[in-house]
Amino acid sequence: MDEIIEHSEKGARTGDEEVIVITGSSGLIGFTLIERLAKKYRVVGLDRLGPPYPPLQAECVNFDITDEKAIDAAMERIRYGYGSKIASVIHLAAFYDFGQKDSPKYQEINVEGTKKFLGQLQDFEVDQFVFSSSNLIYKPTEPGKKIDEDCPVEAQWGYPESKIQTEGLIKENNHDIPAVFLRVAGVYTDYGHSIPITQQIKRIYEKEFVSHFYSGDLDHGDVFVHLNDVVDAVEKTVERRGELPDELALNIGEPTTPTYRELQDNIGNLLYGKEWETYEVPKPLAKAGAWTRDLFGDPFIKPWMIDRAEGHFELDIGRAKKYLDWEPQHRVLDTLPRMIDNLKTDSKKWYKKNNLD
């Protein structure tokens, strides 16, 4: 089949390993996850044809989640090459654009695409379906009040709304396949990769005028999690699949939330040896400024984001500790020095890795 590209190492497998299927396999999480899981399992990556490919330890199968025929062809390749028994399907494929509040792709890819994919999986013997959801589905809280998996949901833009809808359709359409919903916080690495964090670093590094102003409460913040900790959580989810409830939601994030002020001051100190002066700006003024800047370019901060700046997220990860014996080994404030050091060492490489101009 022309649309199949194989990246498996000949002779490296005995054929006895259980099969893991990962959608969105060329993404940041998928790529790293394959490198980890391929040590124990036979891994198949499903993603659109083209670079970057998954690591050599996996086969890459062409996969367009919006096209039912393409899904069918991909699954037939898996059946032919690996059989009908799948230990775990890890569903990472999704559309995400931090700059778009609403897009038809959220519905087309994240919701309807998942529904089509689930339909094809019903013909396989699947032990587990792991869905990568988001902590952004929750209604924001206040400092000191943690969010557990039973707290109210309240999407403020298209991406988390699509995750809420997809969780619902999985519960309705995922017949006889145990499902785990990993509600993952903002993922970062030693190079950054988290869009909010890297944009914040960039503004201060370049000493932009707007870096001194914030439209929300400086003592509110978002929750984050290191990529390696996410991979640990997924690996444990797969390993314990026979022990988990048939339907389980788990918060995957750090137990402490840095405030926007703490991030600003830490970044300023790491870059320039002093705290970064930051002032709260009234929402109407901030919206007017964002709207004006949007007229004359493509700034990161859009007018619709101003309302989100007041949000605050703190996660209760007690359920992940209970079922997975998991808790993160990293903290974002402890990792900032490595991010900044990497920026100072090779700024071009740092900007390229974070898709920044």
Assess whether pLDDT exceeds 70 at residue 338.
Answer: yes
What SS3 state is found at 151? coil
- The total domain count for the chain is 2
| 206 in the same domain as 165 | no
Q: Is 41 exposed, middle or buried (0-12, 13-18, 19+ CB in 10 A)?
A: buried
Q: Containing domain of residue 336, as a range?
A: 195-221+257-311+330-353
Q: State whether 20 and 155 are in the same domain.
A: yes
Q: Is residue 53 part of a domain?
A: yes
Q: Are 266 and 333 in contact (CB under 8 A)?
A: yes
Note whether 216 and 229 are same-domain residues.
no
- The whole-number pLDDT of residue 58 equals 85
117 within some domain = yes
Confidence of residue 309 (pLDDT cuts 50, 70, 90): low
Specify whether 88 is located in the same domain as 229: yes
- Among 356, 221, 218, 224, which Cα is nearest to 299's? 356
Q: What's 87's DSSP letter? A: S
d(CA 264, CA 260) in angstroms, rounded, equals 6
Whole-number average pLDDT of the chain: 87
What pLDDT shows up at residue 211? Answer: 87
pLDDT tier, 49 (very low <50, low <70, confident <90, very high otherwise): low
Do 262 and 340 sit in the same domain of this protein? yes
Residue 47 lies in a domain: yes
Name the residue with tokens 């025929």: 69
pLDDT at res. 290: 45
Q: Using N-to-C axis directions, what is the helix angle for 195-205 and 332-345, rounded to 10°?
A: 50
* 278 and 248 in a common domain: no
Where does the pLDDT of residue 308 fall: very low under 50, low under 70, confident under 90, or very high at 90 and above? low
Could you check whether the bond before residue 52 is cis, i.e. omega within 30 degrees of 0? yes
User: Does residue 230 form part of some domain?
Assistant: yes
Q: What is the pLDDT of residues 67-79, one digit of tens each?
A: 999 999 999 999 9
Task: Compute the distance between CA of residue 192 and CA of residue 337 in angstroms, rounded to an integer.
Answer: 11
User: Which of 193, 166, 192 minimizes the C-alpha distance to 249?
Assistant: 166
Say if residue 200 is in the same domain as residue 136: no
- 313-323 mean pLDDT: 98
Per-residue pLDDT tens over the stretch 106-157: 999 999 999 999 999 999 999 999 999 999 999 999 999 999 999 999 988 8
What is the share, in percent, of the chain residues with pLDDT greater than 70? Answer: 84
Residue 343 has pLDDT above 80, yes or no: yes
pLDDT score recorded for residue 213: 80
pLDDT at residue 307 in the model: 57
Same domain membership, residue 107 and residue 132 = yes
CATH of the domain at 110: 3.40.50.720
Beta strands in the chain (DSSP E): 4-5, 19-23, 42-47, 58-62, 85-86, 88-91, 125-126, 129-134, 179-184, 186-188, 213-214, 224-226, 247-252, 279-280
pLDDT tens digit string along 174-191? 888 999 999 999 999 999
Is the per-residue pLDDT at 51 higher than 70? no
Claim to verify: residue 265 and residue 173 sit in the same structural domain: no
pLDDT above 90 as % of the chain: 72
- Per-residue model confidence (pLDDT) at position 24: 93
pLDDT for residue 62: 86
Q: Are residues 160 and 13 in the same domain?
A: yes
Cβ within 8 Å of residue 248, ≥6 positions away? 179, 180, 181, 319, 323
Confidence of residue 99 (pLDDT cuts 50, 70, 90): low
pLDDT confidence bin for 260, thresholds 50/70/90: very high
Per residue in 199-243, pLDDT (tens digit) is 999 999 999 988 898 877 889 999 999 999 999 999 999 999 999
Give yes or no: residues 82 and 137 share one domain: yes
**Higher-confidence position of 289 and 97:** 97
DSSP 337: H
Tell me the pLDDT band of 29, cut-offs 50, 70 and 90: very high
For residue 216, the model assigns a pLDDT of 76
CA-to-CA dists, residue 189 to 42, 127, 229, angstroms: 26, 31, 10
Least confident of 76-85, 204-213, 322-331, 344-353: 204-213
Q: State the Cα angle at 69 between 68 and 75, rounded to 5°.
A: 90
pTM: 0.89
Q: Which residue has the tokens 């230990």?
A: 87
User: Which residue do the tokens 């096209």 mark?
Assistant: 67
- Residue 321, domain member (yes or no): no
pLDDT at 297 over 70: no
